[in-house]
Structure formats: C-alpha cells, structure tokens
Amino acid sequence: MSKDESAAEKRERLRKQLDDTHSWPSAFTFKFIVPNEGKGEGMLKEIFSKDADFRSRPSRNGRFIAFTIQERVHAAEEVFERYEAAASIPGVISL
C-alpha cells in the first residue's frame, strides 16, 4: 500500500487480486494466531460456519495457538468479513 492509497483503494486492490486468483465459490484458507489463554478459539469458531475445517497447532512455548481454517466462500467480500470479524479478538494476528 502506497502512502497515497486510501483504505477503499486498498480494499478494491485486494478484491481484484482475490477475484483474479479465485473462482467463486471457492475453498479459501484463513490463518490466525491467537493467545492460548482466553476465548480466541471460541471466538474464531463463532465467525466461521459449522462446515469450516479447523486445524490448530500450539506454539513451541504453548503461549499461542496457530489456526488454519478452510471454508467455502462465495465472494471476496466474505473473505474481508471473516478477517474484519477476527480483528476484534484480543491479541489475534491475522496472516
């Protein structure tokens, strides 16, 4: 993102990249890291459908859990919605 690129322009650029690399509907892989203490896992599961495939792996020291989540989405907008919802989770890192 350049200094002159607005948030709306960045979102549109990312939407175009997603549309260029995916045929919707498509299985999309999301990746997050959350602190092991707290409600991060439960909050992530609330964001995704019951059909989403959750895989997790604890960090070496056990303080964090890395999640790889695969879910079938119908448009780039759904990808944005999942990441925006996850941003409200305390301590979350979106990859």
Supply the pLDDT for residue 4: 80
Residue 2 lies in a domain: no
Residue 58 lies in a domain: yes
Q: Domain count for the chain, please give it.
A: 1
List the domain range (segments joined by +) for residue 27.
23-94
Q: What is the pLDDT of residues 4-49, one digit of tens each?
A: 889 899 999 999 999 999 999 999 999 999 999 889 899 999 999 9
- CATH classification of the domain holding 58: 3.30.70.260
Please give the torsion angle defined by the CA atoms of residues 51, 11, 89 and 52, in that order, rounded to the nearest 10 degrees: 10
In this structure, what are the phi and psi dihedrals at residue 34, rounded to the nearest 5 degrees? -130, 150
Tell me the C-alpha distance between 55 and 81, whole Å.
Answer: 20
Tell me the C-alpha distance between 21 and 72, whole Å.
Answer: 15
Tell me the C-alpha distance between 35 and 41, whole Å.
Answer: 9
Residue 85 lies in a domain: yes
